[in-house]
C-alpha cells in the first residue's frame, strides 16, 4: 500500500481548483478530519475523496472532499494512486457552511508523515 | 510595358502592401505566423474583468462584482444576478454540463488551453468544458447579419497584423436563453454583442487577449477587457473533460441551487 502512495507536495489553491462547479458554499475556515480513505474518484469535472470519519459519538460519517479536475491535478503531480483505499490520514478541508459532511480539500497527511496538497501553507488549520 | 501600366501596377502593389494578411484573401505563410505552441493557463481567477472588480474573493464570493458600462436595463439585470449569487442561487451555466461556453467567456476558464495557429484558421481549444472556437483567417468576409442566428461562440473572422491576430466576433446569442454568462458573478451580454479581439504574445511566456466589447443593447460604451495566459512547462498532456462523467454538483431547476451529491448519487443532507 505504501508503495502506491506518492509523496506529493503540490502548491494548489482551493478556490481556483473549484472554479467550475462547487465552491460557493465553502467556508473560508479550515478544519481537520481524521479518517480512512473509502474511495478516490479521479473523475471530471472534479475529483472527490470519500473519507470515513468517526464523529464524537463514534458513528462513522462519510465525508465527500471535493478537489480539482483530474486533468489539472495530474499535471501537478497528483495521480489516482494518491489516496489508496484504506489509507488513514488527517485531512485539512474547508467545510461547507450548511454543516453537511462535505468540504473542499486542502491537504492530507498520512500516518507515515507524507503529505498531499498544501499542508504547510498559510491558511491551513486554524 | 507602358508608363501608364507601370504606374497602375505600382498603385496596386502599394495598396496590396498596405493590407494585412487575411484581409486581401492571401493566406499568411506558415513560416510568417508566430509560435504560440504549448500549453497555457489563464492568469488570475475567473472574475471576467478583474480591472473593474469590487470586493475580495472569487466570482462566487458575495460582494464581488464588476462594473461593465451597462445601461440601466442591464445594470438592473446584473444586480438581480448578483443578489441571487449572494445566496448561492445563481447557478453557473457550466453546471448544466452539455452546453458550450460562450465567447468571450471562452477566455475565462480554469484548466488548460491551446492556441493553434495555421494559415487559414486559428483555434482556441479550452480543456475545460471542453470547448473550442474557430477563427477564420483565410480572408473570407463575415456572414451577413441576416444569415446569423446567434450561437454561443458566434462567428469569427480575422487577419494578422504582424504578430498580432485581430478578429471580429458576431452572431453571439448572449443572454437570449439565460445559458451564457461571462462569469459566476452573473455578468452577461445581449444578442447584439460584437467583439474585436487582439491577440499577441507579449513575451515568451505570456499570451494576451484584449477584447473590445460593443453591445448596443447592454452597454453605453465599448467595454475593454484584458485576459492573459501563462505558458506552462513543456511536455504536458491535455485530456478530455467529460463534464457529465461525475457531475456531483447538478442544479436543482426548481430552486436554482447547486446540489452536492454523495457517492451514492443522492443529495447529501
pLDDT at A11: 33
Residue A19 has pLDDT above 90, yes or no: no
- pLDDT digit string, tens, across residues B229-255: 999 999 999 999 988 999 998 888 788
Cell 475567473 identifies what position?
B46
Helix (H, G, I), strand (E, B) or coil at A50: strand
Of chain A, the percentage scoring pLDDT greater than 70 comes to 77
Identify all chain A residues contacting B97, using CB atoms and an 8 Å cutoff.
45
More confidently predicted of B254 and B176: B176
Q: ipTM score of the complex?
A: 0.78
Identify all chain B residues contacting A39, using CB atoms and an 8 Å cutoff.
263
> Does residue B123 fall inside a structural domain?
yes
Interchain proximity A23–B58, CB inside 8 Å: yes
- pLDDT digit string, tens, across residues B220-236: 999 999 999 999 999 99
> Does residue B259 fall inside a structural domain?
no
Residue B49 has pLDDT above 50, yes or no: yes
Distance (Å, rounded) from C-alpha B156 to C-alpha B48?
20
Residue B211 has pLDDT above 70, yes or no: yes
More confidently predicted of B91 and A51: A51
Q: With bands split at pLDDT 50, 70 and 90, how would you rate the model's confidence at A24?
A: low
> Does residue B54 fall inside a structural domain?
yes
pLDDT at A12: 36
Residue A5 has pLDDT above 60, yes or no: no
CB B179 within 8 A of CB B191: no
Interchain proximity B45–A38, CB inside 8 Å: no
Range of the domain at B113: 30-231
Q: With bands split at pLDDT 50, 70 and 90, how would you rate the model's confidence at B7?
A: very low
Distance (Å, rounded) from C-alpha A92 to C-alpha A71?
22
Cell 499535471 identifies what position?
A75
Residue of A nearest to B90 (CA): A24
Residue B98 has pLDDT above 60, yes or no: yes
- pLDDT digit string, tens, across residues B53-96: 999 888 988 999 999 999 999 999 999 999 999 988 888 888 88
Identify all chain B residues contacting A66, using CB atoms and an 8 Å cutoff.
248
Tell me which residue in A50, A75, A100 faces B263 most closely, judged by beta carbons. A50
Q: Which residues share a beta bridge with B203?
A: B206
pLDDT at B22: 53
| Other Cβ atoms within 10 Å of B263 Cβ, number | 15
Query: What is the average pLDDT across B128-151?
Result: 94
CATH number of the domain enclosing B145: 2.40.128.20
Tell me which residue in B238, B247, B269 faces A45 most closely, judged by beta carbons. B247
Residue of A nearest to B243 (CA): A45
Tell me which residue in B45, B88, B263 faces A15 most closely, judged by beta carbons. B45
CB A117 within 8 A of CB A82: no
* C-alpha of A101 from chain center: 12
Q: With bands split at pLDDT 50, 70 and 90, how would you rate the model's confidence at A20?
A: very low
Distance (Å, rounded) from C-alpha B44 to C-alpha B54?
15
pLDDT at B10: 42
> Does residue B135 fall inside a structural domain?
yes
Helix (H, G, I), strand (E, B) or coil at B105: helix
pLDDT at B93: 86
Residue A22 has pLDDT above 70, yes or no: no
pLDDT at B48: 97
Distance from CA of B22 to the nearest CA of A (A): 35
Distance (Å, rounded) from C-alpha B234 to C-alpha B9?
48
Chain A interface test: which of B248, B258, B265 (most A C-beta within 10 Å): B248
Of chain B, the percentage scoring pLDDT greater than 70 comes to 91
> Does residue B261 fall inside a structural domain?
no
- pLDDT digit string, tens, across residues B16-44: 444 455 555 678 899 999 999 999 999 99
> Does residue B108 fall inside a structural domain?
yes
Residue B117 has pLDDT above 80, yes or no: yes
How many domains does chain B divide into? 1
Interchain proximity B268–A17, CB inside 8 Å: no
Interchain proximity B95–A21, CB inside 8 Å: yes
Of chain B, the percentage scoring pLDDT greater than 90 comes to 73
Lowest mean pLDDT among B48-62, B106-120, B193-207, B251-265: B251-265
Residue of B nearest to A25 (CA): B88
pLDDT at A17: 41
Residue B192 has pLDDT above 70, yes or no: yes
Q: Which of B43, B39, B37, B40 is nearest to B237 (CA)?
A: B39
Interchain proximity B246–A41, CB inside 8 Å: yes
Residue B158 has pLDDT above 50, yes or no: yes
pLDDT at B167: 98
pLDDT at B146: 93
CB B40 within 8 A of CB B114: yes
Chain B interface test: which of A22, A24, A51 (most B C-beta within 10 Å): A24
Distance from CA of A4 to the nearest CA of B (A): 22
Distance (Å, rounded) from C-alpha A78 to C-alpha A107?
12
Interchain proximity A46–B263, CB inside 8 Å: no
Residue A4 has pLDDT above 80, yes or no: no
Tell me which residue in A24, A44, A96 faces B242 most closely, judged by beta carbons. A44
CB B21 within 8 A of CB B158: no
Distance (Å, rounded) from C-alpha B95 to C-alpha B134?
24
Size of interface A-B (CB pairs under 8 A): 100
Name the grid cell of B90.
Answer: 445563481
Residue of A nearest to B250 (CA): A21
Distance from CA of A115 to the nearest CA of B (A): 23
> Does residue B15 fall inside a structural domain?
no
pLDDT at B23: 57
Residue B120 has pLDDT above 50, yes or no: yes
How is chain A split into domains, by residue range?
Answer: 39-115
The answer for residues whose C-beta is within 8 angstroms of residue A77's C-beta and 6 or more apart is A6, A8, A10
Mean pLDDT, chain B, rounded, equals 90
Amino acid at each position: 500500500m505504501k508503495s502506491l502512495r506518492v509523496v506529493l507536495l503540490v502548491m494548489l489553491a482551493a478556490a481556483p481548483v473549484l472554479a467550475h462547479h462547487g465552491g460557493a458554499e465553502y467556508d473560508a475556515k479550515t478544519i481537520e478530519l481524521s479518517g480512512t480513505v473509502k474511495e478516490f474518484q479521479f473523475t471530471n469535472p472534479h475529483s472527490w475523496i470519500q473519507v470515513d470519519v468517526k464523529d464524537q459519538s463514534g458513528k462513522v460519517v462519510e465525508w465527500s472532499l471535493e478537489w480539482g479536475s483530474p486533468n489539472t491535478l495530474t499535471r501537478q503531480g497528483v495521480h489516482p494512486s494518491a489516496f489508496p483505499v484504506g489509507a488513514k490520514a488527517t485531512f485539512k478541508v474547508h467545510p461547507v457552511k450548511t454543516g453537511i459532511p462535505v468540504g473542499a480539500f486542502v491537504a492530507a497527511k498520512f500516518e507515515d508523515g507524507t503529505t498531499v496538497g498544501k499542508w504547510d501553507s498559510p491558511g491551513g488549520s486554524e | 510595358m507602358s508608363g501608364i501600366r507601370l504606374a497602375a501596377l505600382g498603385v496596386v502593389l502599394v495598396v496590396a502592401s498596405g493590407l494585412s494578411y487575411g484581409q486581401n484573401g492571401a493566406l499568411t505563410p506558415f513560416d510568417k505566423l508566430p509560435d504560440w505552441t504549448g500549453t497555457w493557463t489563464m492568469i488570475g481567477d475567473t472574475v471576467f474583468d478583474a480591472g473593474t472588480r469590487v470586493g475580495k474573493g472569487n466570482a462566487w464570493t458575495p460582494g464581488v462584482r464588476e462594473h461593465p458600462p451597462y445601461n440601466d436595463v442591464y445594470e438592473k439585470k446584473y444586480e438581480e444576478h448578483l443578489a441571487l449569487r449572494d445566496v448561492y442561487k445563481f447557478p453557473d451555466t457550466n453546471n448544466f454540463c452539455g452546453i458550450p461556453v460562450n465567447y468571450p467567456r471562452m477566455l475565462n476558464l480554469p484548466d488548460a488551453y491551446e492556441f493553434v495557429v495555421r494559415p487559414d484558421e486559428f483555434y482556441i481549444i479550452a480543456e475545460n468544458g471542453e470547448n473550442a472556437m474557430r477563427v477564420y483567417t483565410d480572408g473570407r468576409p463575415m456572414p451577413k447579419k441576416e444569415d446569423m442566428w446567434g450561437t454561443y461562440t458566434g462567428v469569427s473572422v480575422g487577419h494578422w497584423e504582424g504578430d498580432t491576430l485581430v478578429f471580429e466576433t458576431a452572431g453571439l446569442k448572449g443572454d437570449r436563453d439565460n445559458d451564457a454568462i461571462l462569469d459566476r458573478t452573473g455578468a452577461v451580454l445581449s444578442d447584439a454583442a460584437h467583439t474585436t479581439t487582439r491577440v499577441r504574445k507579449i513575451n515568451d511566456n505570456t499570451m494576451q487577449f484584449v477584447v473590445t466589447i460593443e453591445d448596443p443593447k447592454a452597454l453605453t460604451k465599448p467595454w475593454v477587457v484584458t485576459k492573459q495566459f501563462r505558458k506552462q512547462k513543456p511536455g504536458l498532456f491535455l485530456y478530455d473533460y467529460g463534464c457529465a462523467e461525475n457531475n456531483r454538483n447538478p442544479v436543482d431547476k426548481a430552486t436554482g441551487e447547486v446540489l452536492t451529491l454523495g457517492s451514492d448519487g443522492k443529495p447529501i443532507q
